[in-house]
Each structure stands twice: as structure tokens, then as C-alpha cells.
Amino acid sequence: MQNQNKNILIAGVGGQGTLLTSRIIARTAVQMGYDVKVSEVHGMAQRGGSVVSQVRYGKKVYSPIIRKGDADIILAFEKIEAARWLDYLKPGGTIIINNIRVDPLPVLSGKAKYPDDIADKISSFVEKAFVVDADKIAESCGSIRAANVVMVGIFASVFGIPEEEVKKAIQYLVPAGFLEINLAAFDEGKKIFIELNRVK
Amino acid sequence: MKELMLGNEAIARGAYEAGVKVAAAYPGTPSTEIISNFAKYEGVYAEWSPNEKVAMEVGIGASIGGARTLVAMKHVGVNVAADPLFTFSYTGVNGGLVLVSADDPGMHSSQNEQDNRGYGLFAKLPVIEPSDSQEAKDYTRLAFDISEEFDTPVMLRVTTRLCHSQTLVELGERVEVENKDYKKDAAKYVMLPGFARDRHAEVEKRMLRLADFAEKTDLNRIEWGNKDLGVITSGVAYQYVKEALPDASVLKLGLVNPLPEKLIRFFADQVKRLVVVEELEPVIEMQVKAWGLKIEGKELFSRLGEYSPEMIAERLSSFKLDAGFGLEKEIPARPPLMCPGCPHRGVFYTLNKMRLTVMGDIGCYTLGALNPLNGMDACICMGASIGTALGMEKARGEEFASRVVAVIGDSTFVHSGITSLIDVVYNQGTSTVLILDNCTTAMTGHQDHPATGFTVKKQPTSRLDIEALIRAIGINAVKVVDPLDLAQLKTALEEELSRREPSVIICRRPCALLEKDPVREKYYVDAELCTGCRLCTRIGCTGIYYVEDDKKAVINSNTCIGCGLCPQVCKFDAIKTVEV
Ligand SMILES: Cc1ncc(C[n+]2csc(CCOP(=O)(O)OP(=O)(O)O)c2C)c(N)n1
């Protein structure tokens, strides 16, 4: 069941803007001439639930969903969401973990504990695990809401995707008023990954 | 460049290209984006109907009137529309009519996972199933031709994975289709028994002609591979099969009702092992078995939930999945929850605190059933709250009823709450009904409805006056309260519950997500005053949380929008506004 397609899994909490991330990545892949499929979550889970979107591209893509153990990269917008989807990562794959904690309902109501050491645990399992402060980086670019585009920058850096292609997609998908902030967030995302990689 | 499109956008595009003039729907995940996208095209009519039955009837009228017509709804919506649908199957169409049924295997956003291919057999409709957005567009177009050629409504059956996946689509041009002539034809359209008997005979003839068509159409195709294993499949499961079993022979069905018996027999003859991969019910399997063929299906695959490529590979090849890291077992679940500032939150906090029996309904407010709000006793289907509350009263008496409320959203009230409220008046119930009016259909993404005063195209229109309607029904006790004012809400509840006559409390405040500048005030917890009692966490808001180490509550300034609910709950006045 091996194939040459690239599989990107984007996990987060409803409302964090994971859909924009998957749409930018997908549009970039379309521009580059690939067959592309994207699976999104709409509906109830968008109200603060656990959400995932999946992008697959390559010569020919059948399934819109990635099979377990087959994601080249996981972009996780929140720490426990990274853990929730970790089984989808390919051996040798990369996981990027946004260093924020969003308490789910069972934690808020005191029925469960938030496992604060979860990012360390993931790093102990996965060699290419990177923890980033995407929210903070986005804030420094002008809006915390651009954290999703910081993640796009990291993705482009990991996959070596030409910057112009991604920026073209961002321009197409992001409203003009927010473009500048988002392009800056993209640049910072690219930079931070190079930085993190050097440290590792 | 081909375009990436959601399955739902592609259906809308297909309908547009097919020359559809009229489209009607009631929102419902995963179907909603079909009509919201169709409405963006120029020169077409689209509407949000008050419910699916009305949408179906508007569609039927447009079809009889000669126009090509699209009707869309989620799977359970077809239950609501079933009455007109079954008899429309008898009359047949004038302009082609396609009904999209968007099923939800896995229940991402639904109260059940019924398999609406069953309606094809039951109502005797051709059922078409696409497997990606390109097919969604092409099959939608084709469905209109089939509808007109065979004089039948056609069901286009899709599932969440298709509706909400984007795949590449080659766009085509719209064909302008003239309305068919309209001629009065009572024998075809007036379903008195005498006429309906003849129409039933026509339906049976039509199904035979369609069975013949099923053998020839390109909608069904064989993709030969290794003949040790032959798989019959349809819809998005086809994509999983191709991914998981690249070498198998596949019979892909695009027309799943009626089935092509000869083609299936031929395929069965050629392969050593025959398996059907279909999510949910064994609709294909049972029919193939009834023909006496040997086929495996539900002994390998579940009737529950969605399938996946790895599931298919595991059951039908030597593929074995790694054990994985097992971390997901250690981490808390993340169910959806009400947004910070949601006007529904305080209602359920209050209902739970007052220990009332709450007959609930469907919408964002159903989340009030979850811990810590725990504010709901039952939720069955849209509109059920008021009828079930009356039934409770009739079973357990008026005394009990003085502690029972029905809770229903504004869109849901218009959808199917009005007739039950009439029943309460007519049959002398004493229920108190809470209408949670957040001025929108929030759950499905903020669609307009008759009480918002705007159409699907965002044009202003006459606005249904809910208070006036309720008074006209015969209810005198109608109050409007602000659901974020807990004291006002509690007083209203106490007054109305003690009344021995039907009453309605309208809890009115727009959905927090609709507000352009949502942050009203900034709050913080005064650590000096906070005793760590955790009462404020009982409202289940992501804006406020308890820090174990400090034994204090803290407000998250990123998520808090200053709705002012938690200060009303705090007994120690520890939650204060930030002075500016
Ligand atoms: C028959 C049927 N149609 C559609 C749906 C999808 N659906 C669930 S709740 C809802 C409407 C909710 O609106 P409202 O009652 O105003 O509550 P809100 O979500 O705004 O709180 C819809 C359309 C459904 N579950 N059943």
C-alpha cells in the first residue's frame, strides 16, 4: 500500500483556522500541477471540538483521507491534538507542535487532567518532532490569527516548496486587508523551522 | 487549470450547468454548502425553506411547472420530506428533479447514521452515487437527464466525506434549458386512489426500464485487475478500495438503485472471490445474495461508522497496521462546546441549577446536555422538544409538568415547533417552552431563516414575528428575556412554570459569532477574593479555568469576550471588569 503521494495532516481545535492552512497547501499543490485531494471537517466539531484536515497530493490520488502511519508531516495547532493524531505519522515523518494548551471540556470541568508533558513524550517517540511558538510568532507579525500561516511557512520549509508558489496561494486565499500580516507570518514560519532544525 | 471544489460546491456547479432554475433546501450538515453555493450563481432562484418537507414541495411544484429543480438536505431531512417524496415518485416529473441526500456515516454532526440508499428501494427511485467532486458535478448533470427520460425524481446520494472533500473539477458551460410546457394533467398529478393506481403501475414499468438502463450506463464500470479478488463498491468507498487494493478487480457502481443484475453476475463469474465494500447497511449485499450469488460483505465490514483505506487493506490483503504509539488513550477527549459568549450557556446553567426536566431539541444548544452544564433530558429530532414535553405532562400529570420545560432554537421552532405548540394549546398542556432565539441557524453555519428577515441571497424580506405568531396560536403568557441576565431568566422561569396554562419564554440575544466586535468588556479574577470554589467552572466556558497549583480561577484574555456570565455565578465578587 505504498505510494509516492505526499500526505499532510493538520490537526487542531475548531476555530483555530486549520481550514485555511489546508486550503493554502492544497492550492499550492494545484498550482504545481499535482492531483490533489483535501478532506475537511465542517459542522459540529468546528464549535471547539477536535478537528483535522488532510491534504494529499501527487501524480494520482484516490482516497481523500490519509491512512494511519502514512502522513509525511503533521501540523498540530495544539499540544494534545498532536498526540491525538500521532498514529497517522509515517515512520521518519515530521511533526510540528504549536506550543499552546487549549483545555477541552473534560479538563475545564475537572473530569480529566491536561497532560502537560505531552510534547516531551511525543519527542521521545519521534525523532523529527519540533515544538514551535506559532501563536507568539503570529502575534509579533500583527495577529495571533495568522498562526495558521506560520504553520504553512514551516510546511514549505520542510518540503522545500518554492516560496513564490505558496505566496501566490496565500494571495489568492487571504483577504487583502490581512495579506501583509499573513505574508510576514509565512516568512517567519520558514525562518523558525530552519532555526529549529539547526538546534536539533 | 482545474479547480479544487468541495463535493457540495461541485453538486451546485453540476446543477447550474444542467440549467437548473429553482433550488430549495433546509440547511443540515453535511449538505448545507450545496444551496449556499448554488445561490451565488446569477439568474437562478434559490431558497432556504423553513423545513425539508416544504423544500421538497417547492421543488415538486417547480418541476411540475416545467423547470429543472434541485432539492438538497441531510439524510434525516429526507425523513421530514418523505411524505411528498413517496407520492411524487408516483406522479413523476415534468422538469427534471434531483434530490440530494447527504448521509453522515460516523455521525460527525448528526443524531443517527441511517443509510438513505434504503429510500431508493422504498420509494422506488433511481439512486446515483458519485465518488469525488468531478463525478459529483458530472453525475448531477446526468441525473437531470435521467430524471426527465424516466419521468422520475432522482436521488443523488452522497456522504460527509464526499461533501467535505475537495478534489479537482473540470468546469463546463451552463446549458440554458427552457421550461417544459405545462399542461393540466390530473391523471398524472392528482393522486386520488383511482389515478394513483395507474401511476403505481407506471412506476413498476419505470423500474424495469431503469434496471435495463443500469446494465448499459457508464455510471457502472468494471476496472479489471487481478481476478482472485473482485470488489463491488460505490461512493467514496471506491476511493478507499483503489488505495488499499490497487491490484483487485473492481466493479464501481455509480447507479446503486436499481442494480445491474446481469453486470454483477458477469463480474461474479470472472472473479474467484467476490466482496462488496459498502459503508453502513448491506443494501447491495442483500440484493446480490437474494439472486443466489456468493458474496462477502458485512461478515468482514461493520455496519457502524466510516470506513478507511487501512481498514479495507487489513481485511482484504496481507497489510497489517502498526500498533501505533497509543497516546490517544492517555489524552482527554475534545467534544465540541459552546463558544465563549454563547447566549445558550446561561440558560442550561440555570435549568440544571433549578433541577428542571428539560425536553431538548437540535442545534448548538444541544451541547447544553454535556458536562458540566448537564441541562438536558432528551433530544430526538428537530422539533421534538415541545411534543415530547406535552407527552411527559400527559404521562405524569400537571404537577410534574410544573417542573418540565421544552427548549428549542429559533430556526428549529420555525422548522417544526409551531404545530406542536398548537397542540399544547389545543390539548390544554401547561408546558413552558423556551425559544432560544439567537437570530440565526448557528449550528450549520449561520443560515438565515424566516424570522431573520433575510433570504439565502441576503436580500431583505418580511420577517416572521415570533411573539405575534405565538399569541395568535392562543398563548397569552409570552415573555422576552436576555439569556445572559441570569436573574431575569430565573424569575421568568419561576413565574411561567407556576402558571397553569401554556407559556413561552423567548431568550433573545444574537449568536456571539455574529457580532462584528464581540469583545464587550475585559474581565479578570481578583486573586485576593477568589476562594477557589470552582463555581465559575460549572458554566463550561473556555474563557475561564481553574489553576490547580494556585487554587484560583483565571480568565483567559484571548478567548474571553466579556459576556459577563461568570461574574453573575461567582459568590465572592472576585470577577471584575478591567478599568480602562
Ligand atoms: C431534519 C433535520 N434537518 C436539519 C438538521 C441539521 N440541523 C441541526 S440543528 C439545526 C438548526 C439549528 O438552529 P437553531 O434551532 O436556530 O439553533 P442554533 O444552532 O442557532 O442554536 C439544523 C439545521 C437536522 N438535524 N435535522
User: For atom 20 of ligand 1, which residue has the closest CA?
Assistant: B442
Pair B390, B447 in one domain: yes
Do B325 and A86 count as a contact with CB atoms less than 8 A apart? Answer: yes
Residues in chain A within 8 Å Cβ distance of B445: 42
Residue B580's pLDDT is 60
Pair B392, B488 in one domain: yes
B243, B317, B542: residue with CB nearest A48: B542
A44, A109, A118: residue with CB nearest B109: A44
How confident is the model over A14-25, as pLDDT tens digits? 989 999 999 999
How many domains is chain A partitioned into structurally? 1
Nearest-Cα distance to chain B for A87, in Å, is 5
Pair B166, B92 in one domain: yes
How confident is the model over B326-353, as pLDDT tens digits? 898 889 999 999 999 999 999 999 999 9
Pair B188, B234 in one domain: no
B518 in a structural domain: no
Q: Can you give the pTM of this predicted structure?
A: 0.97
What range defines the domain where residue B243 resides? Answer: 220-315
Residues in chain B within 8 Å Cβ distance of A1: 243-244, 246, 309-310, 313, 317, 319
Nearest-Cα distance to chain A for B343, in Å, is 14
User: For atom 16 of ligand 1, which residue has the closest CA?
Assistant: B411
Report the CATH number that the domain containing residue B94 is assigned in CATH.
Answer: 3.40.50.970
How confident is the model over B517-570, as pLDDT tens digits? 777 788 999 999 999 999 999 999 999 989 888 999 999 988 899 999 999 999
Domain boundary among B165, B194, B216: B216
A1 in a structural domain: no
Q: Atom of ligand 1 at shortest distance to CA of B437?
A: 16
How confident is the model over B447-505, as pLDDT tens digits? 999 999 999 999 999 999 999 999 999 999 999 999 999 999 999 999 999 999 999 99
Report the separation in Å between the CA atom of B28 and the middle of ligand 1, taken as the mean of its atom positions.
7
Report the CATH number that the domain containing residue A124 is assigned in CATH.
Answer: 3.40.920.10
With a Cβ cut-off of 6 Å, ligand 1 is lined by B 26-28, 52, 74, 76-77, 80, 362-365, 382, 409-412, 438, 440-444
Residue B223's pLDDT is 98
* Per-residue CA distances from B360 to B50, B434, B449, B563 (Å): 20, 10, 20, 24
A158 in a structural domain: yes
In 3-state terms, what secondary structure has residue A57? strand
Pair B69, B181 in one domain: yes
Q: Is the N-terminal amide bond of B258 cis, ω within 30° of 0?
A: yes
Do A80 and B331 count as a contact with CB atoms less than 8 A apart? Answer: yes
Do A80 and B332 count as a contact with CB atoms less than 8 A apart? Answer: yes
CA B277 from centre of chain: 25
B111 in a structural domain: yes
Closest residue in chain A to residue B446, using alpha carbons only: A43
The verdict on A185 touching B (C-beta cutoff 8 Å) is: no
Pair B445, B549 in one domain: no
Residue B519's pLDDT is 76
Contacts of B546 (CB under 8 A, 6+ apart): A110, B532, B534, B537, B552, B553, B554
Query: Is the confidence at residue A113, as pLDDT, over 60?
Result: yes
User: For atom 21 of ligand 1, which residue has the closest CA?
Assistant: B364
Cα–Cα–Cα angle for B85, B86, B91, rounded to 5 degrees: 85
Instruction: Compute the CA torsion angle B279, B284, B286, B292 (nearest 10 deg).
Output: -140
Closest residue in chain B to residue A24, using alpha carbons only: B4
Site from A108, A143, A173 to mutate, B interface, most B CB atoms within 10 angstroms: A108
Domain boundary among B187, B216, B245: B216
Query: Is the confidence at residue A2, as pLDDT, over 50?
Result: no
Residue A4's pLDDT band (boundaries 50, 70, 90)? confident
Residues in chain B within 8 Å Cβ distance of A113: 332
Q: Is the N-terminal amide bond of B30 cis, ω within 30° of 0?
A: yes
Report the CATH number that the domain containing residue B273 is assigned in CATH.
Answer: 3.40.50.920
How many domains is chain B partitioned into structurally? 4
Pair B242, B305 in one domain: yes
Helix residue ranges per DSSP H, chain A: 18-31, 79-84, 105-108, 118-125, 134-141, 147-159, 163-173, 176-199
B123 in a structural domain: yes
Residue B501's pLDDT is 96
A16 in a structural domain: yes
B168, B309, B317: residue with CB nearest A63: B309
How confident is the model over B409-454, as pLDDT tens digits? 999 999 999 999 999 999 999 989 999 999 999 999 999 999 999 9
Residue B1's pLDDT band (boundaries 50, 70, 90)? confident
What range defines the domain where residue A190 resides? Answer: 6-199
Do B540 and A1 count as a contact with CB atoms less than 8 A apart? Answer: no
